[in-house]
Amino acid sequence: MSVWLQSVPVVRRHSLHPIFGTTTMRTTLTLNQIVEEWIAGCDRLPATKSDYKRKIHLWFKWLSSQGIDPREPAREHILRFKQSLQQQGKSPYTYFTYVAVIKIFYRYCAAMRYYEDIGKGLQSSIRMHEHCKHPLTVSEAQRLLNSIETKTIVGKRDKLIIALMLLNGLRSCEVSRINIGDIERVEDRVLLHIQRKGHLDKRDVVALPEMTVELIEEYISERDFTLDDPLIVNHCVGRESTRLLNTTISQVVKMRLRIIGINDPKITAHSLRHTCGSLLVEMGTDIEIIKDLLGHTDSSTTRIYVDMAQKRRLLKENPSRQIEALLSKK
């Protein structure tokens, strides 16, 4: 953000057309001070806070580039900003995450009586028809698991990554955050404590299937470790083993997918999580259980898997053929 923007206090200004909401700042704090205050109060991981801050500053920068006072944005400007990102070729996921952050910021401003909630009611999530999930088929998932040799420590690690995402539906960031101490045996079960996406204080506990437990035991048996050490680490010769970042985990999954001939750009590391959710729906698992396993905060997100399964069933069964057969009888 430019220097002048950091020092200019936010003061009460005029109002715009009511369709776009009023723009009436009610504080002498600078925008930078408001952002810092907002970020400090966010119950989010440091990486998420950093991303929020980066996105809101880019929003301010865009406003300035359009000749709009960053202290006086309106609802209309958020829509124009989204259109600008679309024109730059950004994906729906990208521009909706920007809108989501902007909405969170102005919701905070409204709660603090600094500014109107100009983002209220704007769509900031990707509807199902705009963001179709792309799970693997059962045979593709089987091929992926079976293709990974575990004679080397890297092979053991990579197969464990695949299992955690495919069998337990973990996100790549959640796999990255696992410490060895997050795994515990309770009677006849092995439990994993998961630090969920974006939250500092949201930790869930899931039971691990036997395959995943065996892969963990095989992998860590070749390492010297403490309970505070990360579970998934790099294994570069001559370098200290450090936590594997979620971006690297995603690259590992993509590499393993390419090995079995899956090069579709729509199939990503996140597709393993989608595969887990889709297969559970196909098997008739209760939607609330799936919701808790995947760490969804809202069951409407989980229902996407149900809707997808119903559409696949419709295409497979093709009920129109039954009507055709009935009407063709003489």
Calculate ∠ Cα 117-46-124, nearest 5°.
35
Name the residue among 41, 39, 45 with its Cα closest to residue 201.
45
The mean pLDDT value for 188-214 works out to 85
With a cut of 90, say whether residue 189 has pLDDT above it. yes
What local confidence, expressed as pLDDT, does residue 132 receive? 55
Cα distance between residue 119 and residue 110, in whole Å? 10
Please give the average per-residue pLDDT across 176-194, as a whole number: 93
Long-range Cβ pairs for the range 155-160 (8 Å, 24+):
156/215, 156/218, 156/219, 156/222, 157/219, 157/232, 157/233, 157/235, 158/252, 158/256, 159/215, 160/212, 160/215, 160/216, 160/219, 160/231, 160/232
pLDDT tens, residue by residue, 129-182: 444 568 899 999 999 999 999 999 999 999 999 999 999 999 998 999 999 999
Q: What is the mean pLDDT of the chain?
A: 84
What number of other Cβ atoms are within 10 A of residue 50's Cβ?
Answer: 12
pLDDT in tens, 12-65: 333 333 333 445 667 888 999 999 999 998 877 787 888 899 999 999 999 999
- What is d(CA 316, CA 319) in angstroms, rounded to the nearest whole number? 9
| Phi and psi torsions of 203, nearest 5° | -125, 125
Residue 18 confidence (pLDDT): 36
Cα 151 to Cα 102, 141, 243, distances in angstroms: 48, 21, 22
Helix or strand (DSSP H, E) at 185: strand 183-186
Q: Taking the CB of residue 269, how many other CB atoms lie within 10 A of it?
A: 22
- Region 217-221: what's the mean pLDDT? 95
Say which range, 125-129, 149-153, 214-218, has the weakest mean pLDDT. 125-129
Edge-first strand order for the sheet with 183-186 is 183-186, 189-195, 203-207
Which domains occur in the chain, in start order?
A: 3-111 (no CATH), 138-317 (1.10.443.10)
How much is the pLDDT for 17?
Answer: 36
**pLDDT, tens digit, 9 for 90 and up, residues 56-110:** 999 999 999 999 999 899 999 999 999 999 899 887 778 888 999 999 999 999 9
Integer Cα distance of 101 and 59 in angstroms: 10
Q: Rounded to whole angstroms, how far apart are CA atoms 253 and 230? A: 19
Tokens of 66: 């359009």
Q: What is the DSSP string of 264-321?
A: -TT--THHHHHHHHHHHHHTT--HHHHHHHHT-SSHHHHHHHHHHHHHHHHHHH-THH
Distance CA 97, CA 84 (A): 14
